[in-house]
Structures are given as C-alpha cells and as structure tokens.
C-alpha cells in the first residue's frame, strides 16, 4: 500500500513535517499538506507537480474536517502537542481514520491515553501517540528486548546523542511541559509518574562501541515513560541523556539543526541503548542512526503503512510496541537504523 493513498500531514512545513512529507512521497503515498500558515504550505508545495494544500487551524474544527476529507490517515507533526493533539484526534475520529503523532511531550501523551482510550476503542479507531524517536523507538526497542518475557523489573533507555541542536518546536514544547509540571522534573518509578524538585543525578553509562562510557543525565525523562508502561508490566522505567546533548538542549544559543546531506539530515548521530532486567537476567537492544528528527519520519510512515495494511494487534490508543510486531517493525527500518539485540 502507498500508491495513491492520501495521508494528511498537519504541520507539514515544520522541521519534522518536511521529513514526513518526503518519506510519504518516497513510499508512494500522496501527502495532503496542512497547517495554519497557507504561505508556508504553498512554499513547501512549490516543487510538487500536483500539490494538495489544505490550510487548517486547531481552533477551527470545520477547517480540520476539510483537511482530512478523503485522507486515509493523518500524521500530526505540529507541536506543542498539548495544543494540537486533541483537536486532531477529534477530527480523525469524525473522519473515521487513524491518527499518528510525533509528540515527545510527556504530558500531551498522558492526556491522549487518559482522554481517548475508551472512545477510540469503542469506535474501533487507532490512535498512536509518540510515534517518533522519543516514545516510539524506545518502546519498540524495549518490547523487542523483552522477547518472551511478560514482565520485567526495570527498563533503562540511554540516549547517546553526540549533539542536540533543538528546533524551535522542541524549545516551545519544553517550555510548555515545564510550565505544566510547575518546573519540576518527572520520573517513572514504582509504577507511576513521580514529580520531584531536586536536580537529576549525573551518572556514567557504558554505551556499546563506538561511544563507550559517557557521562549522562540520569532520569532525563522522555516520552518512553508513557509509552512503555502503557502496555508492559515494568514498574521502573528510566531514561538517560549524554551530558553534551543535554547541555546543547539547555543552552539558549544552540542553533537549530542544519542540513548536512542530500536528504536534509543534520550531522547528529545517535545510539539508543536499551537494557531490560528481570530477576538476575538482562536483555539488551541497541539502535544506531543519524538525526533524531529525520528518523521520526520513517517511524511514523511505517506505522501508517502497517495500520492501513491491517498489520496491527489492537485498536484504541496504543503505543508502537503494543500495536505492532516490534522486531519486525524495527527490521523494516533497516535503511534508517542499524540494530542489534542480545
């Protein structure tokens, strides 16, 4: 599936949205370009021989309905998702089509599970939050590492980024997330989210080669603490970030990502090291690749492809690891990720 099937992309002209549009075209889908700014949509579509441009705003339900009319699915790439997710999910439910987003915001993902689980299941709809580098990839890796385990004591997801040049959207989402939790940090422990006022620890993490042992921010909590526990019985889920990448993110003068190859990817590299422990046993999964924003596009588009071809395991609001065959999904991304499990 792909050829001729229209997929609406809300926030199509954003940094991640552009990668998603390109991935859809490469795989034979027909992107429907949507978002608030009609001029930016027209600029994005300038090189397209048959552009489908549908401006829409999250505070105008009728415009969202027009944007999704005739589409087979919608991918929401427009943050902050605290503002955009609910209106787009409502529009997708009205249109009877699957909804996928790339939200890294913990609070927005919690809201999606809390507010739409029952409604989406009753409607037989598929809603997939955090189908991106943060939230989606980690969840797939944890699920693959679990193998035949039905539960585990703890899961650790260490992000080995050599740098992090955040987009304006990343910075805006971070500000909203901090405001929503009153400036506190969050971690997932004892089977629930816990909010804390102290500083996160600085630890050392032994990444596989070529990174080796690096200083990391412990409890650098990302969307994985929502997606993983949504379907796996793991009471302790921790995420870590290399210190240099965390400093890039926090520095106000770190520039936005710049294209370094013909696909528009930045020079940023990543290594995601997942460790799952149960009793005295340990299992591991590792993913390597380039550009955390760019790799979110094949993750989201592969999800849409599998939903539309019926390769799903449930309906309702579901994370990547619950909805899909995690090892098979990861293998399908071999052009974008190198993977290893042990």
Band the pLDDT of 3: cuts 50, 70, 90.
low
Q: Which residues contact 202 (CB under 8 A, 6 or more apart)?
A: 215, 216, 217, 218, 243
> Does the residue 341 lie in any domain?
no
For residues 188 and 228, give the distance between their C-alpha atoms in angstroms, rounded to a whole number. Answer: 10
Peptide bond into 210 cis (omega under 30): yes
My answer on whether 311 and 253 are in the same domain is no
> Does the residue 60 lie in any domain?
yes
For residues 77 and 104, give the distance between their C-alpha atoms in angstroms, rounded to a whole number. Answer: 11
CA 1 vs. chain centroid, Å, equals 22
My answer on whether 23 and 104 are in the same domain is yes
pLDDT of amino acid 342: 73
My answer on whether 89 and 182 are in the same domain is no
User: Phi then psi for 139, rounded to 5 degrees?
Assistant: -65, -45
**Could you tell me the residue range of the domain that residue 314 belongs to?**
6-132+296-327
My answer on whether 162 and 255 are in the same domain is yes
Please determine, for residue 72, whether its predicted confidence score (pLDDT) is greater than 60.
yes
Q: Using CB atoms within 10 Å of the CB of residue 301, give its burial: 0 to 12 exposed, 13 to 18 middle, 19+ buried.
A: buried
My answer on whether 266 and 317 are in the same domain is no
My answer on whether 223 and 123 are in the same domain is no
> Does the residue 336 lie in any domain?
no
With b for 16 or more beta-carbon neighbours within 10 A and e for fewer, the 154-193 pattern comes to: ebbbbbbbebbbbeebbeebbebbeebeeeebbbbbeeeb
Band the pLDDT of 48: cuts 50, 70, 90.
confident
For residues 137 and 106, give the distance between their C-alpha atoms in angstroms, rounded to a whole number. Answer: 15
State mean pLDDT over 330-342.
94
My answer on whether 86 and 193 are in the same domain is no
Band the pLDDT of 46: cuts 50, 70, 90.
confident
pLDDT of amino acid 337: 96
The CATH number given to whatever domain includes residue 221 is 3.30.360.10
> Does the residue 156 lie in any domain?
yes
My answer on whether 119 and 141 are in the same domain is no
> Does the residue 338 lie in any domain?
no
> Does the residue 228 lie in any domain?
yes
Angle between helices 61-68 and 81-95 in degrees, nearest 10: 60
- Of the chain, the percentage scoring pLDDT greater than 70 comes to 99
My answer on whether 256 and 221 are in the same domain is yes
For residues 212 and 245, give the distance between their C-alpha atoms in angstroms, rounded to a whole number. Answer: 15
Q: Which two tokens stand for residue 279?
A: 């009793």
Q: What is the CA radius of gyration of the chain?
A: 19
Question: What would the pLDDT profile of 12-39 be if each residue is shown by its tens digit?
Answer: 999 999 999 999 999 999 999 999 999 9
pLDDT of amino acid 193: 97
For residues 35 and 56, give the distance between their C-alpha atoms in angstroms, rounded to a whole number. Answer: 5
Lowest mean pLDDT among 50-54, 110-114, 131-135, 213-217: 50-54
Question: What would the pLDDT profile of 174-223 be if each residue is shown by its tens digit?
Answer: 999 999 999 999 999 999 999 999 999 999 999 999 899 999 999 999 99
My answer on whether 94 and 110 are in the same domain is yes
My answer on whether 159 and 282 are in the same domain is yes
Band the pLDDT of 2: cuts 50, 70, 90.
low
Contact between residue 300 and residue 102 where contact means Cβ atoms under 8 Å apart = yes
Contact between residue 136 and residue 109 where contact means Cβ atoms under 8 Å apart = no
Please determine, for residue 232, whether its predicted confidence score (pLDDT) is greater than 60.
yes
- Per the structure, the count of domains in the chain is 2
> Does the residue 335 lie in any domain?
no
pTM score, two decimals?
0.97
Peptide bond into 300 cis (omega under 30): no
The CATH number given to whatever domain includes residue 101 is 3.40.50.720
Question: What would the pLDDT profile of 84-112 be if each residue is shown by its tens digit?
Answer: 999 999 999 999 999 999 999 999 999 99
For residues 277 and 142, give the distance between their C-alpha atoms in angstroms, rounded to a whole number. Answer: 11
Question: What would the pLDDT profile of 135-178 be if each residue is shown by its tens digit?
Answer: 999 999 999 999 999 999 999 999 999 999 999 999 999 999 99
- Bridge partner residues of 294 (DSSP): none
State mean pLDDT over 248-270.
97
My answer on whether 103 and 160 are in the same domain is no
Contact between residue 271 and residue 242 where contact means Cβ atoms under 8 Å apart = no
> Does the residue 124 lie in any domain?
yes
């Amino acid at each position: 599936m792909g050829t001729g099937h229209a997929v609406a992309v809300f926030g199509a002209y954003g940094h991640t949205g552009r990668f998603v549009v390109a991935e859809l075209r490469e795989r034979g889908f027909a992107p429907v370009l949507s978002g608030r700014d009609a001029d930016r949509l027209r600029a994005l579509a300038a090189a397209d021989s048959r552009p489908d441009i549908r401006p829409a705003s999250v505070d105008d339900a009728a415009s969202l309905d027009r944007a999704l009319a005739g589409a087979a699915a919608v991918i929401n790439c427009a943050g902050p998702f605290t503002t955009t997710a609910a209106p787009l999910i409502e529009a997708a439910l009205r249109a009877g089509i699957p909804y996928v987003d790339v939200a890294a915001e913990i609070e927005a993902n919690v809201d999606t599970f809390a507010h739409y689980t029952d409604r989406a299941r009753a409607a037989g709809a598929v809603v997939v939050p955090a189908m991106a580098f943060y939230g989606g990839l980690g969840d797939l890796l944890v699920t693959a590492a679990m193998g035949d385990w039905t539960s585990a004591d703890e899961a650790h997801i260490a992000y080995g980024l050599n740098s992090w040049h955040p987009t304006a959207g990343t910075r805006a989402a971070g500000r909203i997330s901090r405001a929503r939790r009153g400036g506190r940090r969050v971690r997932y422990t004892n089977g629930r989210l816990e909010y804390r006022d102290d500083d996160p620890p600085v630890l050392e993490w032994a990444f596989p080669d070529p990174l080796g042992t690096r200083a990391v921010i412990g409890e650098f909590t990302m969307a994985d603490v929502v997606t993983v526990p949504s379907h796996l019985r793991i009471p302790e889920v921790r995420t870590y970030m290399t210190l240099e990448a965390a400093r890039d993110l926090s520095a106000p003068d770190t520039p936005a990502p710049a294209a370094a190859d013909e696909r528009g990817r930045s020079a940023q590299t990543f290594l995601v090291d997942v460790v799952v422990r149960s009793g005295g046993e340990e299992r591991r999964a590792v993913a390597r690749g380039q550009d955390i924003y760019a790799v979110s596009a094949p993750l989201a588009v592969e999800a849409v492809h599998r939903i539309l071809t019926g390769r799903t395991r449930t309906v309702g609001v579901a994370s990547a690891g619950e909805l899909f065959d995690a090892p098979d999904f990861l293998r399908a991304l071999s052009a974008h990720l190198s993977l290893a499990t042990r």
